[in-house]
Amino acid sequence: MKRLGVIGGTGLADIVLADAIRTDSILAETPWGSVPLQCVTLAESEIIFVQRHHGEGCTPPHKIEHRANIRALADAGAEAILAICSVGAIAAEFTPGSITYAKQYLDLTGISSTFYDDDAQFTSMTEPFSLHLNEILAKELNSNKGLTYFLTQGPQFETAAEIGAIERLGGDVVGMTMPREAKLAAELTLPYAALLISSNWAAGRTPGDPSAILDHHAVSATAGERLEKVMDCIRAILSQG
């Protein structure tokens, strides 16, 4: 693959690679607003990076204009998109600091995410993530255990009771953004995959302390500790995609 779009979340504000030939910052214009892109040129490929919040902590999750972000990556020539997502862990084995890939998602927010507001277009989401990209990620992570991401509206974290209900519905992790990107990428037929970084236990799931308070800064710090493995996954997709 020559050109990979990467969407960074909490803990990933930019792409820094020692072997980068050059790094350029541009402002892409879309019908839904401007998007700051970081273009990292390597010897035989290019990474086009967007921070989904347009800067760490700037745009709250419920206000992100995902159409602008996905459209900007598509217009910049991205052949596929890899999203990096900090999530709250519900599955007991997905301890904070763990990393895997998304296999399915659940979005029951009732809020649409589409480029088609004026005419009826129906996009299959039976397999919301690229099976080919997930095969590469599974090999790089030495894991064939993809998880189900449950989308909540935010910006508040969930209650312990909500997490219990989410688990019963099949959610393994919880977050506030990613499935909206997956839907838009599918509408543009852009292969899309998502890396999930367990940044914290979901509400009520902290071992020995079910009343533990969730803190955004702690979440960001944990996500930032796994960036080396994230870069390994990016390189794997560029070389094998």
First to last CA, the chain: 5
Question: pTM for the whole thing?
Answer: 0.93
The 10 Å Cβ neighbour count of residue 63 is 10
Asked if 128 contacts 179 with a C-beta cutoff of 8 angstroms, the reply is yes
The pLDDT score that the predictor gives to residue 218 is 61
Q: Torsion angle, CA of 89/229/71/190, rounded to 10 degrees? A: -90
**Of 181, 27, 3, nearest to 78 (Cα)?**
3
Contacts of 120 (CB under 8 A, 6+ apart): none
Residue 159 pLDDT exceeds 70? yes
Residue 7 pLDDT exceeds 80? yes
Pairwise pLDDT comparison (222 vs 52), residue with the higher score = 52
